[in-house]
Structure 1
């Protein structure tokens, strides 16, 4: 959970800074100038020619930015909920499996969105975003290089979180597997209430004591001994009788 917390905080900072559009359009425009992808001017062309807006690539859309912010906030909320459930001993493996699988799928979508393809312009097709596939130094502008490094950092943090949730899934699967040790412990608990366990020094205080078997002689009790002492004649009384 410590690694998950560090990764979540890093994503909250990086995705929060990038909202609403700190560097997305700048990287889009820089990639077109370098000949790597389409141009953001297609939006202006559509407005100028009274044409419907084209479907923007997911990697350059506002949806991917909002999506990344949403999953970072959701990850923090679920992490806090998991910590509370773990302390209260209600963090069951089946619940953990559902949550970890859901978050893993969300982070797969985020990775795809950050490094997704761009086929909007047939003259400049791109299967992977240039700031992921290429070094930031391909851009001469220092500002673009800084934005590229920030985008790379957010992508790396997302991949780390994806790896953490994969490990969580593996641990959850391991926890769901049948464990013979649990059956052994249960058997030992059941055997503690048997007569054999009582003979071996088990917890016998809570069990009823078996009745004394009847015999032909009168049971000898402390009260019987007291009555016998009272009826017995003392030696001095016998001497002066």
Structure 2
């Protein structure tokens, strides 16, 4: 029966803390209020497509362009699901280590699954908005600009967008 060293215990504690913070961050972002607001801000400033133009398409009985991945609800859903999976796997890993059932194969599988999930999340969160040919955005505007370029009321959405991207990147 192997024992957990103090260094291993402290590293697992830091991983758990990081997983909890990441989970809380994506829970805060989950209702999709900030992503929709960021899309609207970028559309008003001409940095990406404008979601208000979708009404024009509907009013004229035309099919609107597909919602870009960066502004979609599925991105918000998947980010929360990945953060939840990370937290559950972290707790599972800690429990297995505590009872000395942690096998190297599980650790490798754990790391591979999470790396693939976080890789998808980082790529999706940094994807562009190519739905409007006049306002092409290769990357989200809030990752390329400071939050000082928007009104004070919109800065919280900008900061949350940046922080969620950075936490996904760090989780990767």
| TM-score bucket of the superposed structures, by smaller chain | 0.7 to 0.9
CA distance in 1, matches of 2:69, 2:14: 29
Is residue 115 of structure 2 the alignment partner of residue 109 of structure 1?
no
Tell me the residue number matched to 1:67. Answer: 78
CA distance in 1, matches of 2:17, 2:165: 15
Tell me the residue number matched to 1:135. Answer: 146
Partner SS, residue 97 of structure 2: helix
Is residue 95 of structure 2 the alignment partner of residue 100 of structure 1?
no
Partner SS, residue 82 of structure 1: helix
Is residue 137 of structure 2 the alignment partner of residue 126 of structure 1?
yes
Matches within 5 A, 1:138-217: 138-139=149-150, 141-162=151-172
Q: TM-score, normalised by structure 1?
A: 0.63
Structure with bigger gyration radius: 1
RMSD (CA atoms): 1.4
1:31 to partner: Cα distance: 0.8
1:54 to partner: Cα distance: 2.6
CA distance in 2, matches of 1:55, 1:3: 40
Equivalent pair of 2:46/2:135 in contact (CA under 8 Å): yes
Q: Deviation per CA, 1:203-225: give whole Å up to 9, x if none.
A: xxxxxxxxxxxxxxxxxxxxxxx
Higher relative contact order, structure no. (Cα contacts within 8 Å, ≥ 6 residues apart): 2
Q: Which one of the candidate residues 7, 11, 21 is aligned to 2:22?
A: 11
- In proportion to residue count, which structure has more helix? 2
1:86 to partner: Cα distance: 0.8
Unaligned runs of 5+ in 2: 1-11
Equivalent pair of 2:16/2:91 in contact (CA under 8 Å): no
CA distance in 1, matches of 2:54, 2:25: 27
| Aligned length in residues | 161
1:142 to partner: Cα distance: 0.7
Partner SS, residue 125 of structure 1: coil
Tell me the residue number matched to 2:42. Answer: 31
Equivalent pair of 1:4/1:161 in contact (CA under 8 Å): no
Q: TM-score, normalised by structure 2?
A: 0.87
1:16 to partner: Cα distance: 0.9
1:53 to partner: Cα distance: 4.4
Q: Which moved more, 1:43-52 or 1:143-152?
A: 43-52
